[in-house]
Chains A and B, each alone.
Chain A
């Protein structure tokens, strides 16, 4: 049986306000469209936010801050770069950025996948409560800070303060770590880790076996206050 291939609905954002673009996206979704192509977003802010849908929204160009914020199920693709706050508080779904992302990428997400093919700025994946963040390039200062659950995979380098004061969750780093944050410790990479990395990166066309991943988790020494370890607390606070 021949597969039915439908053309995406095209929305030209040139000259439209942020509100008009978002309203038109929501109107198309309400009309039952499942594939939307947005042309000329030229770095506008707060696009495709708070979408409860499984539709695909493809931005042909760069977007600004808080793109795909509070996403719940949508598959958002951004051909260019994005500003800070990408997919903040995402509940589920999938956000892919082909270029670089600003600071605060994937903050506090609870589920789904956020993928940045290029580099991320400072504070990527801080306070994550679930889900997966994959960074094809490098991650900026204090990434993974106070992470609570979920997985961050950084294929390139990580700047100062990686995994500072993380509670739980796992960070994998392929490149050089400038410095670990307080109580972030390296753990041995197991076969289960390698299988997870292979599976997670395969669909993103990244060969996990060619990257010498390290695994970083919480040392759990900051979980409970101990008077016997004043030095640890002094360095953490």
Chain B
């Protein structure tokens, strides 16, 4: 059991209190997962700017301020700024070096793991509850256009920060996924994607969804087509939300085993595993959340 959440702001100026909204929803979903919590937040992209989020892991004591990570990145790209918070280093760089930046940082700094690279996306995740993450990373002040969140109850792989959601579809910038369920044909799918040259960072079955969707989008599928294909290609139980720079997409397995509800009004779309998380941020009693049906997919994108 895990909790998933998502927010998508509509309209010509689609920005809102994204960090606070997702944090509040994940607080409400605490029953569904107490191991870890994580968010993929999408802000306003700046010209020629990529944001990199790196977990220092074992390098934390040696590189508390993130200098080693910044030096490693500077071998390939121009580092404009870097800042260390909690276990995490955030870099602002001018390129992702054609997908090579993440590998270079991990090769150069032992123990470091790159959580995300994106023009607008930043992944923040840590062990504990939403409140704990808020105290370290101060999500409350984050304005953004859309994002996804997750509370994890581990069943398939290790309880550590790297195996927490959201998973970045490495090395594709700005694509991430949160998932509730179990992908039973994970090894087969992973092998198939690895043969195509894709790289996996963890042994978590959910990561394969992110890479699978990114692979289909790269090969010309629309979001809707990729979601529909996933319902046939993924085996097992799943309710997942994928996010790209353009918006979010959701899908539910053929048995409707894992819950997923959404509600929308003129200003935003809110989705979550449980209605209580939706009600926390949308109190209008007239607004009726709807459950995604078995095999149903939905997406909200900015054109």
Q: List residues of A whose CB falls within 8 A of some B CB.
A: 42-45, 61-62, 64-65, 79-81, 83-84, 99-100, 102-103, 118-119, 121-123, 140-142, 159-160
Q: From DSSP, what is the main secondary structure of chain A's interface residues?
A: loop
Bound CA span A61–B289, Å: 12
Q: By the criterion CB–CB under 8 Å, are A43 and B293 in contact?
A: no
* A65 contact from B255, B274, B285, B290, Cβ within 8 A: B274
B291 beta carbon closer than 8 Å to chain A: yes
B289 touches A81 (CB 8 A): yes
A43 touches B259 (CB 8 A): no
Whether B276 and A64, one on each chain, are in contact in the complex, defined by CB atoms closer than 8 angstroms, is yes
Please, which residue of chain B has its CB at the minimum distance from the CB of A103? B256
Please state if A43 and B256 are interface contacts (CB–CB under 8 Å): no
Distance, CA A118 to CA B254, complexed state (A): 22
Q: Which B253-288 residues have C-beta < 8 A from chain A?
A: 254-257, 259, 274-280, 283, 285, 288
* Residue among B256, B259, B283, B285 having the largest count of chain A Cβ atoms under 10 Å: B256
Partner of A61, one of B255, B285, B291: B285
Contact residue among B276, B278, B291, B293 (Cβ-Cβ distance under 8 Å from A44): B276
Known contacts A81-B288, A100-B288, A102-B291: does B275 contact A121 (CB below 8 Å)?
no
Query: 21 pairs across A/B with beta carbons < 8 Å?
Result: A42-B280, A43-B275, A43-B276, A43-B277, A43-B279, A62-B279, A64-B274, A64-B276, A79-B285, A81-B275, A102-B291, A121-B291, A122-B256, A122-B294, A123-B256, A140-B293, A141-B254, A141-B255, A141-B293, A159-B293, A160-B294
Range of interface residues on B (Cβ < 8 Å):
20 to 34
| Least Cβ–Cβ distance between B115 and chain A, in angstroms | 31
Q: Which of A43, A45, A65, A79 contacts B278 (CB 8 A)?
A: A43
Closest to B276 in A: A43
Residues of B within 8 A of A141 (CB): 254-256, 293-294
Give the number of residue pairs across the A-B interface with Cβ within 8 Å: 66
Interface residues, chain B, with chain A CB atoms under 8 Å away: 31, 254-257, 259, 274-280, 283, 285, 288-291, 293-294
Contact B294 A42 (CB under 8 A): no
A42 to B275, CA, bound (A): 8
Shortest CB distance B4–A (Å): 15
Task: A169 to B275: give the CA distance in the assembly, Å.
Answer: 32
Separation of A61 and B278 alpha carbons in the complex (Å): 13
Assess A84 versus B285: contact at CB under 8 Å? Given A140-B293, A140-B294. no
Min C-beta distance of A148 to chain B, whole Å: 22
Residues in B neighbouring A42, C-beta threshold 8 A: 276, 279-280, 283
8 Å CB contact of B256 from A80, A100, A121:
A121
Closest to A63 in B: B275
Q: Within the assembled complex, what's the spacing in Å between the Cα atoms of A123 and B291?
A: 14
Find chain B residues with CB under 8 A from A61 CB.
279, 285
Check if B276 sits within 8 Å of A102, measured CB to CB.
no
- Bound together, the chains give a CA A81 to CA B289 distance in angstroms of 8
Tell me the complex Cα distance, A80–B283, Å.
12
Residue of B254, B255, B277, B291 with most partner-chain A CB within 10 A: B291
A84 near B279: Cβ-Cβ < 8 Å: no
Residue contact B279 to A99, C-beta cutoff 8 Å: no
Q: A82: nearest residue on chain B (CB-CB)?
A: B275
